[in-house]
Amino acid sequence: MSDAKPIQERTLAEQGAATSEGIAALFAEVRARFDREAAQLTAGDLAAWTALRNSWLGRSSGVINAIGDNWLKPAPPEQKRVVGKLLNELKAHVESTLEELRARAEAAGAAGAAASSGADLSLPGLRRALGTRHPICQTLEELERIFLSIGFSVVEGPEIETPYYNFEALNIPEHHPARDTMDTFYLSLPKGSPELLLRTHTSPMQIHTMERQQPPVRIIVPGRCYRRDNPDSTHSFAFHQIEGLAVDTDITFCEFKGTVEYFVREFLGPKTRTRLRPSYFPFTEPSAEVDASCFACDGKGCRICKHAGWIKLFGSGMVDPAVYGFVNYDAKRISGFAFGMGVERMAMMRYGISDIQLLYQNDVRFLRQFV
**Is residue 203 involved in binding ligand DAH (CB under 6 A)?**
yes
Judged by beta carbon, residue 8 or residue 203, the one nearer ligand DAH is 203
* Long-range pairs, 262-270, Cβ under 8 A, ≥24: 262/150, 263/146, 263/147, 264/290, 264/292, 264/313, 266/146, 267/142, 267/143, 267/146, 267/346, 267/350, 268/292, 268/295, 268/349, 268/350, 269/295
**Is residue 201 involved in binding ligand DAH (CB under 6 A)?**
yes
Minimum Å distance from CB 188 to ligand DAH? 24
Minimum Å distance from CB 161 to ligand DAH? 13
- Hey, which residues between 227 and 256 contact ligand DAH (CB under 6 A)? 243
Cα–Cα distance measured from residue 268 to residue 279, given in angstroms and rounded to the nearest whole number: 23
Cα–Cα distance measured from residue 10 to residue 2, given in angstroms and rounded to the nearest whole number: 10
Torsion of CA 203, 208, 209, 211, to 10 degrees: 130
**Is residue 284 involved in binding ligand DAH (CB under 6 A)?**
yes
User: Which member of 49, 152, 281, 329 binds ligand DAH (CB under 6 A)?
Assistant: 281
Judged by beta carbon, residue 10 or residue 345, the one nearer ligand DAH is 345
CA-wise closest residue to 334 among 222, 204, 218: 218
- Residues 47, 48, 54, CA angle at the centre, nearest 5°? 90
Judged by beta carbon, residue 98 or residue 205, the one nearer ligand DAH is 205
Minimum Å distance from CB 291 to ligand DAH? 14
**Is residue 222 involved in binding ligand DAH (CB under 6 A)?**
no
- Hey, which residues between 313 and 332 contact ligand DAH (CB under 6 A)? 315-317
Judged by beta carbon, residue 27 or residue 263, the one nearer ligand DAH is 263
**In this structure, what DSSP letter does residue 320 have?**
P
Going by DSSP bridges, is the β-strand pair 310-319/284-293 parallel, antiparallel, or unpaired? antiparallel
- Hey, which residues between 148 and 187 contact ligand DAH (CB under 6 A)? none
Judged by beta carbon, residue 79 or residue 203, the one nearer ligand DAH is 203
Chain positions contacting ligand DAH, by CB under 6 A: 201, 203, 243, 281, 284, 315-317, 338-340
